């Protein structure tokens, strides 16, 4: 859909051609009426296209990365990707092209651009880049809140669904980090080229704010990524530890079943069995096996608890340091120490 907008501000000295959700007719108009190369449109439609700027004879071509909307990721809302946004600057107009709807472009279409210098073409371009950085910051905060919610659910019970959600968040952070890094390179390059010059101090100040916001988005993305990587490693260790506990219990069960298997295998030969004349001998044997298994489990648990108590013994401070603690803490430590001494005896 192609929309021509001339009503951003009263001082607007250019025409904005807003192109979103293109179809074949829109592509035909862009290549025929506006003389845009088909290769350029194909680059904008490529989801993996990197941010860059190119200068041609009649226009300046810019591609930046903008965050996708939730509607674009209905299958997994936590996995948010980035999509290219094309900006073509002519002497008298600016054309913006994106393959779907965009929060950034929609804000300008609905005149939600407070303190953005949109009176000139250059100001309008840096306003889009600055607005994109702010949207990335909001998206990162949203992803971090969702991560905290998933972690709270994982603290109750480690389930595959929550782990897959963390994996989706991790992928989103990687996409966002790559995108904002590319946008940062684009903003810094715009400062160096001679064919993109700002017109007043307000635009220069907004440009600096856009660079600062984009740098903040980069640091936030890196920080959240490092925290999430540590969280994933911690949960992987917890899963491994739980697996070790399960394997220990299965080993104990196997050892308990080994003795009756050995006995039945030994007496399975052509020899007389003890108690073979008793009708209910197999019930007695089953009861004995169950008692052996229960006693073995109790002994192993008692040994493990005693090892944990001895490991924690060095954590409790000595009496001469009790003056640094509150009365309730001293009472708790004395009770804990008495319990350990009783277990040792």
Sheet of 2-5, strand order = 2-5, 15-20, 93-98, 82-89, 60-67, 52-55
Alpha helices, DSSP H, located in the chain: 24-32, 38-45, 103-109, 121-156, 160-190, 201-266, 281-313, 327-344
Does residue 319 have a pLDDT over 50? no
Q: Please tell me the distance from the alpha carbon of residue 339 to that of residue 151, in angstroms, as a whole number.
A: 35
Please give the average per-residue pLDDT across 102-108, as a whole number. 83
Averaged pLDDT, 144-150: 87
Q: Which band of pLDDT confidence, cut at 50, 70 and 90, is reported for residue 220?
A: very high
Name the least confident of 84-93, 155-164, 172-181, 214-223.
155-164
Average pLDDT over residues 261-266: 71
Residues near 256 by Cβ (< 8 Å), separated by ≥ 6? 289, 292, 293, 296, 297
pLDDT at 284 over 80: no
Question: With bands split at pLDDT 50, 70 and 90, how would you rate the model's confidence at 276?
Answer: low
Q: What is the CATH number of domain 2-239?
A: 3.30.460.20
Statement: residue 249 has pLDDT above 60: yes
Q: Mark 165-198 as b/e (b = at least 16 C-beta within 10 Å).
A: bbebbbebbebbbbbbbbbbebbeebeeeeebeb
Q: Whole-angstrom distance between the N-terminal and C-terminal Cα of the chain?
A: 83
Q: What is the per-residue pLDDT for 274? A: 65
Mean per-residue pLDDT of the chain: 79
320: pLDDT strictly greater than 70:
no
Q: What whole-number percentage of the chain has pLDDT above 70?
A: 79
Q: What pLDDT band is residue 118 in, cutting at 50, 70 and 90?
A: confident
Q: What pLDDT is attached to residue 215?
A: 92
Q: The tokens 């069995």 sit on which residue?
A: 273
- pTM of the full predicted structure? 0.71
- Residue 311 confidence (pLDDT): 52
pLDDT above 90 as % of the chain? 8
C-beta pairs of 105-112 under 8 Å, 24+ apart in sequence? 105/18, 105/20, 107/131, 108/8, 108/16, 109/3, 109/5, 109/18, 111/8
Helices (H), 267-326: 281-313
* pLDDT (0 to 100) of residue 218: 92
Query: pLDDT band at 316, cuts 50/70/90?
Result: very low
Mean pLDDT of the 173-200 span: 87
State the average pLDDT over residues 211-236: 89
User: Average pLDDT of 134-157?
Assistant: 86
Query: Which has the closest alpha carbon to 127: 32, 223, 14, 40?
Result: 14
On the question of pLDDT at 301 being above 50, the answer is yes
Average pLDDT of the residues in 47-64: 87
């Amino acid at each position: 859909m192609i929309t021509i907008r001339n009503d951003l501000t009263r001082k607007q000295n250019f025409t904005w051609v807003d192109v979103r959700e293109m179809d074949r007719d829109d592509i035909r108009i862009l290549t025929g009426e506006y003389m845009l190369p088909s290769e350029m449109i194909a680059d904008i439609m490529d989801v993996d296209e990197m941010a860059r700027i190119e200068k041609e004879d009649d226009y300046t071509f810019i591609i930046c990365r903008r965050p996708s909307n939730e509607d674009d990721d209905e299958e997994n809302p936590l996995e948010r990707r980035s999509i290219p946004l094309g900006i073509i600057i002519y002497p008298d107009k600016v054309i913006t092209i994106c393959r779907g709807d965009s929060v950034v472009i929609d804000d300008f279409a609905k005149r939600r651009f407070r303190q953005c210098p949109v009176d000139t073409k250059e100001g309008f371009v840096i306003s889009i880049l600055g607005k994109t950085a702010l949207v990335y910051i909001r998206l990162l905060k949203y992803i971090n809140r969702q991560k905290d919610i998933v972690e709270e659910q994982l603290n109750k019970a480690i389930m595959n669904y929550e782990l897959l959600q963390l994996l989706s968040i991790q992928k989103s952070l990687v996409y966002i980090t790559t995108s904002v890094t590319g946008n940062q390179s684009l903003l810094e390059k715009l400062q160096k080229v001679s064919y993109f010059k700002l017109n007043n101090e307000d635009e220069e100040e907004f440009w600096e704010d856009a660079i600062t916001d984009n740098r903040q988005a980069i640091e936030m993305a890196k920080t959240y990524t490092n925290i999430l990587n540590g969280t994933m490693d911690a949960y992987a260790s917890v899963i491994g530890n739980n697996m070790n506990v399960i394997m220990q219990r299965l080993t104990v069960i196997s050892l308990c079943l080994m003795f009756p298997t050995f006995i039945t295998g030994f007496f399975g030969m052509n020899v007389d069995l003890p108690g073979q004349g008793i009708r209910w001998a197999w019930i007695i044997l089953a009861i004995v096996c169950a008692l052996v298994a229960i006693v073995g489990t109790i002994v192993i648990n008692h040994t493990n608890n005693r090892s944990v108590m001895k490991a924690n013994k060095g954590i409790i401070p000595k009496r001469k340091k009790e003056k640094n603690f509150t009365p309730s803490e001293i009472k708790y430590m004395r009770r804990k120490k008495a319990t350990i001494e009783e277990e040792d005896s």
